[in-house]
Structures are given as C-alpha cells and as structure tokens.
Chains A and B, each alone.
Chain A
Amino acid sequence: QVQMLQSGPGLVKPSQTLSLTCSVSGVSIISGGYYWTWIRQHPGKGLEWIGDIDYDGKSHSNPSLESRVTLSRDASQFFLNLHSVTAADTATYYCARGLLLFSDYVGAFEVWGQGTVVTVSS
C-alpha cells in the first residue's frame, strides 16, 4: 500500500526558502505511471496546484509561482523548494500522487500526504 509522509518546517521567515519533502513508500517514484504533485490550500480557502514531477524528472509548475518553484525527486522522495516566500505563501501544503492515465491528463490525485501547515512570519 502506497503511503506518502510529508516533512518540513512549520515556520519560515519572509524572503527565505520553504523546503518540503514527501517520502513515498510502497512504490518507486522512478518506476513510472504517476505524477508526483504539490498542492496547497490557503487558510479557509480553496486548493491551488503548485507543480508536479514525473518519473524521469520532468517537472512543471504553476505559472503564478513558476519563477520561485524548484521541484526534484529521487527514488523514494520528492521535494518542493519555494523561494523568496512572503506571508501570502502561508498555507497547508500537500503532496499527492496523480495517475498517469493519459500522457496529457494531469489529475486523479488518488493518494495524499497528511499535509504540512506552513506559516511565513518573522
């Protein structure tokens, strides 16, 4: 059974880099068949896709964040770095696994991490 466990700091200072890790057990990230995704939710708000990375390391990120996002992975973990954070980046961050049903299908987030509440404050 696939499990996804998030880790990372709950408090980040403005202008610094938010770094989160999603540790995956039960399947290898580099085995193919899935997108490894980051999504966030601002307090009391809806959901925002941050970006994803696939088995061969190809990544995409939301144009609204693209210049500040770095995604990477190894065989059992994938990583989010969000640079130059501000208070507007305060949110709950989730990692999730998306099904690669079709090459152009970016969805079916069927397994999720537990979420990490991140506050940006000095």
Chain B
Amino acid sequence: EIVLTQSPVSLPVTPGEPASISCRSSHSLLNSNGFNYLDWYVQKAGQPPRLLIYLASSRASGVPDRFSGSGSRTDFTLEISSVQTDDFGVYYCVQAQQRPPTFGQGTKVEIK
C-alpha cells in the first residue's frame, strides 16, 4: 500500500497570502504513460471532498486558477496563489496509481 505524507498538518494563512502544501509518496506515482497519478481534494466541515487537481497538475472543472498542482514521482505540491476565505478547509492528496487508492492525512488550512 502506498503511503502519502502531507506537510504541514496545520497551515494558518492570512487571506490574500499564498499557501503551499507538500505531499510525499512512498512510491513513485509516475506512470509509464508520463502522467503522475496524484490528485488533490479539499473538504469543508460537513461536506464531501471536492476534487481540485487530478493527474498532479490538471485543474478540475470549475476550479479557480489560483489553485495549481506540480511535482513528479514522489514529491508533489499544491499551491494557492492568494488564499480566499472560501479556501479554508482540509486538503488531501490521493494516489491513484494502484488499488487501494490511499489518502494523505490531511492539511488543515485555517485563518491566521
């Protein structure tokens, strides 16, 4: 089973400032087709997660362009260029390379 480790666990951010979350994988997520099988989600209290980024860097439908994903193999980053009040919540990375898909432990982005 692939283990994903996110950092930091908690990220206080002032609205308008940038934010960055790291996700490290115990195995390479670079597929032979050239794509990295890593997704990002955000979850707010009482709601299901929402897909933000898939294949490491592709924004899902309707996701603002202040969200960007990067990285390859075992090291990935989610960046928010300017955090808005609607962006506060828990962010998860997920590997889609092999079953079972596994989730990082989450990073809570909160108001500073």
Question: A residues near B, CB below 8 A?
Answer: 46-49, 60, 62-64, 94, 96, 99, 101-102, 104-110, 112-115
Contact = CB atoms under 8 A, between A and B. Distances in A.
Contact of B101 (A94, A101, A107, A112): A107
Contacts, number: 71
A63 B106 contact: no
Nearest to A63: B100
Contact-size category for B: 20 to 34
Interface SS of B by simple majority: loop
B96 A106 contact: yes
B37 interface: yes
Contacts of A104: 31, 97
Contacts of A106: 37, 96-99, 101
Nearest to A105: B96
Contacts of A60: 99
B99 A110 contact: no
Contact of B60 (A62, A102, A110): A110
A3 to B, nearest CB: 13
Nearest first, the 8 closest Cβ-Cβ pairs linking A and B are A107-B96, A112-B48, A108-B54, A62-B100, A47-B103, A49-B100, A49-B101, A110-B51
